[in-house]
Structure 1
């Protein structure tokens, strides 16, 4: 099973991201957008060379910590983008960087986890079973780490000792899952292969609930891919997630009971506020649903086939980025395009993140941009 998994996962990712090599749809032309939202660049810097990984920056106090290819970890001033310190690891970085509780954690292709203080001092490192595939998450004295073999491990934030480990049997064919876990009130929420979402106790790894976002269906292994490959999104007592070739579904965050679900395929994911849940579907449409009922509100189809990534909420706007490095803003109430900004011309593969009212995007060329709205 292990060798089959490691071969199948990259193939499935390619199929999901590009459809068919010979029948790939022509990207929509760049829409002409009046910048009604006042989207502008606050600062821009470079942190490393070109990468195919989806690295997400992390906030460490008043600093932004960024993983740059192939082996650099850089701390930037969140206010200005000025470099504070830089560390060069002796191993290629994988999965990206996580921060919290005074600790910075980063993974490698060889399954190692290295940790640092917020001022860049090396602390401890730990060895896990395989490549780290998403940013470590830190809460309540535990560092949660996801590896490519499907395991979620809880390590002591003090010394890296293994506290617990969770694993489910993997389907034969999967999408490569870069998605970080979402932490809320001592609960770690993770989307899994096979279309499920699990809630674990961060302290002990105990399964609090395990619910289906989507059920695999079809005659072939390829047709039955229904993996959840983006971060679960929590607002109030509701958590939502989307599955490829499946559905977007919302649950009660405390007990996993279903609230609503809708048929939609997504390998990018969801974002929302108390009123609207935005979903990027597999074709590049951005869809808006009523947060409480799941009723369809709007559809933005001008970004089809532009490899639009995971949406992010920036105030009352939905932000998405595409394969040419453009960041687009949509009004959350009707989906209209109200802002657009070019970055460096390379793909924004990882989802934008918001820290201190700044939208942070990291391109695959290793450039980092902080954007704001008026």
Structure 2
């Protein structure tokens, strides 16, 4: 599949198999951090070789599901990192992994969605969608939500993989970025970021559109300038859902009626995180920004990591953590954004945000190293 070549740092990072252009600014040097506030490494596991896709592991209680290499799927013990089972599929996995309802679920470049038994990794069902699946399937109660590259969101029954409903916006822009963003489900509502800067809320039960809100509006004379896609998952906290668009803005929307609460101009392809006080955004230059959650007031900006292809942030304990192109984890103070720690991994890029759950986080590198970290 031909990849869209855009002469911008963030956009190029979105596209699998695109080479780095010569006009991208040099990465900032690795900052020197005087303090040593990092997370404890609980274990490290090797889950597969180099890949161009953005695989993110998934937690479920005392289990960790992970995709490695081109076609390897594994279920690990959360306490030890030891594999309960590993399987090799007959086709390459492209869409990350979901876990729940007694199974793990992956998607492929051919549009297949494959459900494996949680107990032994044996196939439960396989169903073909309309096009390649490049975002993680989401398992929510009795549904498996799958986003395909043609913009369709399909809801499948967890029991048999039968199609329950399909949603697709009626109008799609001519030029789009490859979208790795999985939908997010909270309180029976599915939130999905779209091309052209739209955020849509759907009823999980039947796919009915509850509301749609503009996060960013296309601007500029050319099609490239008018790209304002939401290519990172939205985040939800209390009565707010927040999303960020490339060449657009970050906005927080009321979950009740889709009305705009606040917005700020910013461009991001990496994504964002949220907690009780702040919304944290990695912009397309690799700067990390913090905004007050309820008002959007700018709280701080950390610019020491510019052009280091910084991942979306994650909250881990009382710190914020991001990964970079050299496999370093950088820890920041939540209050003022100061760098308080730095931690190497295996030297390869960390594409996606650490997957945090309580006081622990999972980090997967491009070379296939998987780390479980615990806040100290």
For the aligned pair, the TM-score class normalised by the smaller chain equals over 0.9
1:10 CA drift (Å): 3.6
Instruction: Check conservation: 1:57, 1:97, Cα contact below 8 A.
Output: yes
**Matches of 1:14 and 1:221 in 2, distance apart?**
14
1:157 matched to 2:151: no
Partner of 2:288: 286
Partner of 1:249: 251
Instruction: Check conservation: 2:271, 2:281, Cα contact below 8 A.
Output: yes
Partner of 2:5, secondary structure, is helix
Q: Normalized against structure 1, the TM-score is what?
A: 0.95
Partner of 2:10: 16
Instruction: Check conservation: 1:60, 1:102, Cα contact below 8 A.
Output: no
Compared CA separation, residues 16 and 302, structure 1 to 2 (3 A): closer
1:15 CA drift (Å): 5.9
Q: How large is the RMSD of aligned CA atoms in angstroms?
A: 1.6
Partner of 1:194, secondary structure, is helix
1:34 CA drift (Å): 3.3
Compared CA separation, residues 205 and 221, structure 1 to 2 (3 A): same
1:344 CA drift (Å): 0.4
Kindly report which structure 2 residues correspond to 1:188-203, keeping only aligned pairs within 5 A, or say none.
188-203=190-205
Kindly report which structure 2 residues correspond to 1:111-122, keeping only aligned pairs within 5 A, or say none.
111-119=111-119, 120-122=121-123
**Matches of 1:194 and 1:12 in 2, distance apart?**
16
Q: What stretches of structure 1 move > 3 A for 4+ residues in a row?
A: 12-20
Partner of 1:354, secondary structure, is strand
1:35 CA drift (Å): 4.0
1:17 CA drift (Å): 3.9
**Matches of 1:35 and 1:64 in 2, distance apart?**
31
**Matches of 2:277 and 2:268 in 1, distance apart?**
21
1:80 CA drift (Å): 1.4
Kindly report which structure 2 residues correspond to 1:1-374, keeping only aligned pairs within 5 A, or say none.
7=2, 10-12=4-6, 16-18=10-12, 21-119=21-119, 120-168=121-169, 169-374=171-376
Instruction: Check conservation: 2:10, 2:285, Cα contact below 8 A.
Output: no
Unpaired runs of at least 5, structure 2: 14-19
Instruction: Check conservation: 1:200, 1:209, Cα contact below 8 A.
Output: yes
Partner of 1:170, secondary structure, is coil
1:279-316 deviation per Cα after TM superposition (whole angstroms, max 9, x unaligned): 00111110111111100010100000000011111122
Instruction: Check conservation: 2:76, 2:85, Cα contact below 8 A.
Output: yes
**Matches of 1:346 and 1:88 in 2, distance apart?**
23
**Matches of 1:30 and 1:193 in 2, distance apart?**
34
1:325-372 deviation per Cα after TM superposition (whole angstroms, max 9, x unaligned): 001111111101111100000000122101352211111111101122
Partner of 2:10, secondary structure, is helix
**Matches of 1:108 and 1:371 in 2, distance apart?**
29
**Matches of 2:259 and 2:102 in 1, distance apart?**
34
Partner of 1:53, secondary structure, is coil
Compared CA separation, residues 206 and 31, structure 1 to 2 (3 A): same
Q: How many residues align?
A: 368
Partner of 1:149, secondary structure, is coil
